[in-house]
Amino acid sequence: MTAGGKARDKLREAHARKRRTCAGGKNTGKIVLVIRETFVTTPGGRTRVLEAGAGWPVVLLHAFPLSADMWRPQLERVADGWRLVAPDLRGLGEGAAAPAGTTSIDDLAAGVEAVLDALRIETAAIGGLSMGGYVTFALFRRSPARFNAVVLADTKASADTPEGREGRQKMLDLVRREGPAAVANQMIPKLLGETSRRDRPQLEEPVRQMIEANHSEGIAGAIEAMLNRPDSTPLLARMSCPVLIIVGSEDTLTPPVESEAMQQRMERSRLVVLPAAGHLSNLETPDAFSQALADFLASNL
């Protein structure tokens, strides 16, 4: 079995353990352990979608180089009246087909549109974390009428700097040469904040499993998409619906200063800085992230 296959099996086992706990009827207070997994057919191939709750749809797009599984803490904590929908982005996540040709940020956004169409979701609160935020911008550029609110977590509007593009090119070479495990080694210390690396070492393994469950080609496609994405700064002033901006105080990849810069350009935005969280703020401080999301949705929609 390949390393990716083993990582996917481990991930499945971990989720199955959680499902068994749920079937055992353990009451964990606010935590909802029923996460629905479906597959929809999109032009990019079969796409996995995780969902929880019922009501108004909230679509959450994942970071690089992860999958929809990163939203499990929020799916488990879905607030009453909301239907959380987390699709895998093209080429990533369990069972994803390797993307053919080069991938653009618009390809990733088109995949999300196809998922929303398949699920008959016309409008939703839509957002993402980091790369998921870049895809949110692309989706807004393509179809602003789909949005009734925006969530931008640990992300930025600007395109890559020349140094950033150089770094992406190196990572592209790395994943093609050494595979997802090498990318995991390089990314994990940047994805998790200082407090998590010191006090929550148990977070590292699930993040590693998510990365290693991806194909090299899917990771390479996402790097290409980010490398060539346009500057979305001009879009900010056009986002006239309510916007939640969330960032971990210890995020070094897209630091709070980027979130502040976005907020200044968006009239109806609210900024929440989560203490003791790094770039993967939703995984590192899941209660605080989910609370910020629930408060925003309750007061704006």
Print burial letters for 206-221: b (CB count within 10 Å at least 16), e (below 16).
bbbbbbbbbbbbbbbb
Is 294 one of the binding residues for ligand MLT (CB under 6 A)? no
Relative to beta strand 82-87, strand 56-61 is: parallel
Is 63 one of the binding residues for ligand MLT (CB under 6 A)? yes
Residue 294 in tokens: 């629930």
Partners of 248 in the β-ladder? 274
Among 114, 157, 183, 226, binds ligand MLT (CB under 6 A): 226
- What mask, x for binding ligand MLT by CB under 6 A, covers residues 244 to 273? ---------x--------------------
- Contact between residue 202 and residue 140 where contact means Cβ atoms under 8 Å apart: no
In the chain, at which residue ranges do the beta strands (DSSP E only) sit? 36-42, 45-53, 56-61, 82-87, 124-129, 147-153, 243-248, 269-274
Is 210 one of the binding residues for ligand MLT (CB under 6 A)? no
Is 131 one of the binding residues for ligand MLT (CB under 6 A)? yes
Q: Specify the amino acid at residue 144.
A: P
Closest CB to ligand MLT among residues 81, 164: 164
Closest CB to ligand MLT among residues 110, 280: 280
Least distance CB 111 / ligand MLT (angstroms): 16
Is 130 one of the binding residues for ligand MLT (CB under 6 A)? yes
Closest CB to ligand MLT among residues 222, 292: 222
Least distance CB 184 / ligand MLT (angstroms): 13
Is 209 one of the binding residues for ligand MLT (CB under 6 A)? no
Is 82 one of the binding residues for ligand MLT (CB under 6 A)? no
- Distance separating alpha carbons of residues 189 and 196, to the nearest angstrom: 10
Greatest C-alpha distance within the chain: 53
Least distance CB 122 / ligand MLT (angstroms): 27
Residues in contact with ligand MLT, total (CB under 6 A)?
7
Taking CA atoms, 284 is separated from 27, 119, 207, 250, in Å, by 23, 30, 11, 11
Q: Which stretches of the chain bind ligand MLT, using CB under 6 A?
A: 63-64, 130-131, 226, 253, 279
